[in-house]
A = this chain, B = another copy of it.
């Protein structure tokens, strides 16, 4: 027995990454075995190695894809004219983007310690790049006199932590819609930066 009818590489490959994403998010990278992922896909464990070099690469690919998509999505996001407009765009974008892929976000923040040193450095660089986007906005706002900040780097970290925190409590179909949440968080961000 081998090779079930109608199976194709273009189908199985993405399914492996989907299953890994879900399982890693739910149970943690170290707690999930290659056999569990294979079972979820409906395949034997050995077949996974047609689609990934090893377990570590599977994790790294998920995280790098996520960060790449994050940066790419922000790059094409309309940012308005003023720094304050850009800050609002960033706040709403961050919440929306992160709420759309909670599993990937969870993994990207929780499984950093399970990366090899080299892979960690790569992901960390991408994260720094994203933080840099916000810092640039804050700096522009500061120079334009639109914002009142005592420390740009610190404000950047505070804002990102606050916005990402939505993912820890937001549940679909809850009391507030995503838009309502974004409205209120933007209010708080605005207040925090003295605008």
Q: Show the binding face of A for B, using Cβ within 8 Å.
A: 26-31, 110, 113-114, 150-151, 154-155, 157-162, 164-166, 168-169, 176, 181, 184-185, 187-189, 191-194
Contact = CB atoms under 8 A, between A and B. Distances in A.
A107 to B, nearest CB: 12
B26 A28 contact: no
A125 to B, nearest CB: 15
Contacts of A166: 157
Contact of A28 (B30, B154, B191): B30
A28 B24 CA distance: 13
Contacts of A161: 161-162, 164-165, 168
Q: How many copies of the polypeptide does the oligomer hold?
A: 2
A155 B188 CA distance: 8
Given A151-B176, A191-B191, 6 more contacts: A28-B113, A28-B114, A154-B184, A155-B184, A161-B164, A188-B193
Contacts of A29: 28
18 contacts: A26-B113, A30-B31, A110-B110, A150-B187, A151-B176, A151-B184, A154-B184, A155-B184, A157-B165, A158-B165, A159-B162, A161-B161, A161-B168, A162-B162, A188-B192, A189-B192, A191-B193, A191-B194
Contact of A27 (B113, B168, B193): B113
Contacts of A27: 30, 113-114
Q: Is the contact region of chain A dominated by helix, strand, or loop, or is it mixed?
A: helix
Most chain B CB within 10 A, of A28, A29, A168, A193, is at: A28
Contacts of A159: 162
Nearest to A193: B191
A161 B159 CA distance: 9
Contact of A181 (B31, B114, B154): B154
A162 B158 contact: yes
| In the A-B complex, the 8 residue pairs with the closest CB atoms | A161-B165, A30-B30, A30-B31, A191-B191, A188-B192, A162-B162, A192-B192, A191-B192
